[in-house]
Amino acid sequence: MENDVKILDGLGHKDLEKLMGIGVFTKFEVPSKPIKGLPNSLSKEHVCWDIIYKTAEAVEKPLTVSNEFEIDPFCAIGICSESCYKDYSVKEVVRKRKSAADKDGVTTIERETFYQILLHCLPSVSRSGEKQKGPLALPFRVLSWDVKVHFVLFVHRVKGLPKGLYFLVRNEDHFEELENATRPDFEWQKPEGCPDDLSLYILDRGDCQQVSKALSCHQVCQFFP
C-alpha cells in the first residue's frame, strides 16, 4: 500500500468542509466566561465593524478547478544513487549529518557527493536529459504548482570543482529568462562530471568567501564547502 500527500489547492472552503465532514454539524458559539476587572468602555454602545465580516467573506476561497483532479503517479528519484544510502540506518544518518564542526575552512566533500545533494533538491524525476517538469518527487509533489525558486551556490571546497558562483536551475522553463536577467559575462556552463539530469551551471570562477560573508550580514564564521 502506497501513501501519498497532495495539497488540495483547487478546493474551496465549502468543498473542504464537505470533504472533512465538518459541514454537517451546527455551528455553535463559544460560551462566554466571567472576567475579572472592569473593561474600558470604548464607545457608548456596541459597534458592528462590517469591514471585518466583509473581509472574511472576501478571503473565503471558492472552487477553482473542474470536477476532476489529475494527480501524476509518484516516481522514485532513480537518478540518485541508492548505493550511497542503503547501508545506513536512521541512527547513522542522523548522527552523520553535516556538523558545525566541519565549518573549519579546510573540510572538503567529494564532487559526486555534492551532485547527490543537489539531485535531491530537484522537484521532478528527469530522465535522459529531459527538462525538469512539475513536482513529482518527494517532498515537492505535495505542492500543486510548478517550482519558482532556484539556488545560487558559492562553491569553495568541493573536490574536482573550481571555486566560484554556481546556479541550480530547478525549473528549466525559466532558463532563458534567468540567463537574460544575469550578467552577460557569466559562463552558464555545466561543470565537469555533472549528471545530464542535474541542471547545475557555473557562472563565475574565483573565491567568493568575502562576497558570501557580506551577503550573510558579515557573520564571523567559516563556511561549508
The rounded distance, in Å, linking the Cα atoms of 127 and 88 is: 26
Contact call for residues 189 and 202 (beta carbons, < 8 A): yes
Does any domain span residue 180?
yes
In a domain, 143, yes or no: yes
Q: How far apart are CA 92 and CA 88, in angstroms?
A: 6
Domain assignment of residue 47, yes or no? no
Dump the DSSP string for 82-144: GGGTTT--HHHHHHTSPPGGG-SS---EEHHHHHHHHHTT-SS---TTPPP-SS-STTGGG-S
| Domain containing residue 162 | 82-215
Q: Are 166 and 200 in contact (CB under 8 A)?
A: yes
Q: Is residue 145 part of a domain?
A: yes
Residue 183 resides in a domain? yes
Residue 94 inside a domain? The answer is yes
Reported in sequence order, the residue ranges of the chain that DSSP labels E, i.e. its strands, are 109-110, 151-155, 158-159, 164-168, 200-205
Number of structural domains (the chain) is 1
- The DSSP bridge partners found for residue 168 are 151, 200
Handedness of CA 192, 193, 197, 199 (dihedral sign): negative
Q: Given this model, what pLDDT does residue 80 score?
A: 56
Q: What is the biggest distance separating any 2 CA atoms in the chain, rounded to whole angstroms?
A: 76
41's torsion region: left (phi>0), alpha (psi -120 to 50) or beta?
A: beta
- Count the helices and strands in the chain (H runs, E runs): 6, 5
Q: For position 132, what pLDDT does the model report?
A: 61
Residue 172 domain flag: yes
Residue 169 lies inside a defined structural domain of this protein: yes
How far does Cα 135 stand from its chain's mean position? 11
pLDDT for 221: 52
Residue ranges of the chain whose pLDDT lies below 70 = 1-4, 66-86, 96-104, 125-138, 219-225
pLDDT for 76: 56
